[in-house]
Amino acid sequence: MIKALRGMKDLTFEESERFVHIVTTATNIAKRYGYSYIETPILEETKLFKRSVGESSDIVGKEMYQFEDKGGNDVCMRPEGTAGVVRAFIQAKLDRRQNEKFKFCYYGAMFRYERPQKGRLREFHQFGCESFGEGSVYEDFTIIDMIGDIFKALGIGYSLKINSLGCPNCMPQYRENLISFLNGCKDELCSDCNRRIDTNPIRVLDCKNEKCQSLLVSSPKLIDNLCSSCNSDFKKLVELLNLANIEFEIDTNLVRGLDYYNKTAFEFVSSSIGSQSAIAGGGRYDKLVEFLDGKTTPAVGFALGIERIMELVSMPNIERDGYYMGAMDSEVIDTLFALAHKKRESEKVTLEYTPKKLKAHLKGADRVNARYCAVIGEDEFKNGTIWIKDLSERKESVVLISEF
């Protein structure tokens, strides 16, 4: 038997309903905030992700579904959505319209060759939003607020962590301070951290190793080393969150696993889904458009992990809906066929082609959660009528076919 690849899943029935419910809820809320839907290709040139997500990130270093296509091009299945949206933004020359703002939302499959475990898939789905052209910290707040709205509509609890990753003004000095601190305790840090001291020292802060974390308690903190612009934006964000009564925690070790961020970074986590607890993450990335050869454009965005959120969402009870139609005799099928076609103009209809006894039809109606079971038997056929049972009200009736 051929099975789905490790870390990849089929979604059916109640699960796929939950998936669609999450995407629809998030899209409707994002539309209220001015986002319009964007669809970008799953396959992109590998260098797009190398340049945006970053060569030293785990995603690019270890997790890419990268291959050479039949034309000899180095391509990659997207590991995340931001890079493709930024590429599309620049390709459509929207970066040249400097006085305008553009907001895009998307959902779709992302691919990371990670070790699969609960909450961590190799093919997973994100819903994301990217806002271009707005440098104000009010936009960072608005995005966090919007995610809160989405989780509220889905009935999900969470906690929010925020941090500031500084900017090219304050980061180089901080980086030097951090490197000299890390070199001071090099021998006690794990091998991953040692590798990162040279490639991406900020990521050391994010190490999950307990010994490393205990050493990092006394490391220089990003938010104590911000320049005045980053500092006042971060303070403003804290003020806006407090004013809106949104609970949060400042996590000075929150650095995110992608290299394109500056200033605001945030993560929403849930304590109810095990170790892979991040349900959404994002932040500001004011340099990425320029880095991918566009005109400098401030930007901020986020993505949420649909599968992780599916673990937390319970679906509202699905009401019985529409008609199930069947016949007890094969000569009636043609009549039913025409009736079903007409009824489908306004109602959901499931039509059973095989003649069956009434009891079997009632079971069939139950299986598809139909509100009405409509059956034509021998008597009804003779009289030009159809027998209908309302399965919610438990009431039966017989009506003329011409009035059905």
Enumerate binding residues for ligand HAM (CB under 6 A): 80-82, 112, 114, 120-121, 124, 126, 128, 130, 257-258, 278-283, 301-305, 307-308
CA geometry: angle at 153 spanning 150 and 155, to 5°?
A: 110
The SS3 of residue 399 is strand
What span, in angstroms and rounded, lies between the C-alpha atoms of 396 and 366?
Answer: 15
The 10 Å Cβ neighbour count of residue 12 is 8
State in angstroms the smallest separation of the CB of 213 from ligand HAM: 20
Tell me the CA distances in angstroms from 298 to 83, 95, 130, 323, 376, one per residue in order: 14, 10, 11, 52, 65
Do the beta carbons of residue 127 and residue 227 sit within 8 Å? no
Q: Are 236 and 263 in contact (CB under 8 A)?
A: no
Whichever of 256 and 361 has its CB closer to ligand HAM, that residue is 256
Question: Least distance (Å) from ligand HAM to the CB of residue 163?
Answer: 13
Q: Which residue is nearest to ligand HAM (CB)?
A: 305
Of the two residues 128 and 322, which places its CB atom closer to ligand HAM in the complex? Answer: 128
**Spatial separation of the C-alpha atoms in residues 191 and 115, rounded to whole Å:** 19
Q: Based on CB atoms, which residue is closest to ligand HAM, 113 or 138?
A: 113
H or E stretch at 92: none
**266 three-state secondary structure:** strand
Q: Please say which residue, 106 or 387, places its beta carbon nearer to ligand HAM.
A: 106
Distance from C-alpha of 112 to C-alpha of 284, rounded to nearest angstrom: 22
DSSP 8-state secondary structure symbol assigned to residue 273: S
Q: Extract the tokens encoding 102.
A: 């553009």
Q: How far is the CB of 285 from ligand HAM (least distance, A)?
A: 6
Which CB atom, from 79 or from 220, has the smaller least distance to ligand HAM? 79
For ligand HAM, the closer CB: 226 or 304: 304
Q: Shortest gap between Cβ of 404 and ligand HAM (angstroms)?
A: 48
Q: Which residues, 6 or more positions from 126, have their beta carbon under 8 angstroms from its beta carbon?
A: 80, 81, 107, 108, 110, 303, 304, 305, 306
Q: Which of 82/297 has CB closer to ligand HAM? A: 82
In the bound state with ligand HAM, the residue whose beta carbon lies nearer, of 206 and 380, is 206
User: Which helix (H) or strand (E) is 301 found in, with range?
Assistant: strand 299-305
Smallest distance from the beta carbon of 282 to ligand HAM, in angstroms?
4
Closest CA to 76 of 87, 84, 85, 65: 65
Provide, rounded to whole angstroms, the least separation between the CB of residue 14 and ligand HAM: 19
For the CB of residue 227, give the shortest distance to ligand HAM in the complex, in Å: 22
| List of long-range contacts for 113-116, beta carbons under 8 Å, 24+ apart | 113/62, 113/63, 113/64, 113/65, 114/7, 114/63, 116/6, 116/7
Q: Which is nearer to ligand HAM, 41 or 384 (CB)?
A: 41
Closer CB to ligand HAM, 106 or 323, in the complex: 106
Min dist. Cβ of residue 367 to ligand HAM (A): 32
Q: Are strands 249-250 and 262-269 parallel, antiparallel or unpaired?
A: unpaired
Q: Please report how close the Cβ of residue 355 comes to ligand HAM at its closest, in angstroms.
A: 47
Q: How far is the CB of 228 from ligand HAM (least distance, A)?
A: 25
Q: How far apart are CA 390 and CA 370, in angstroms?
A: 9
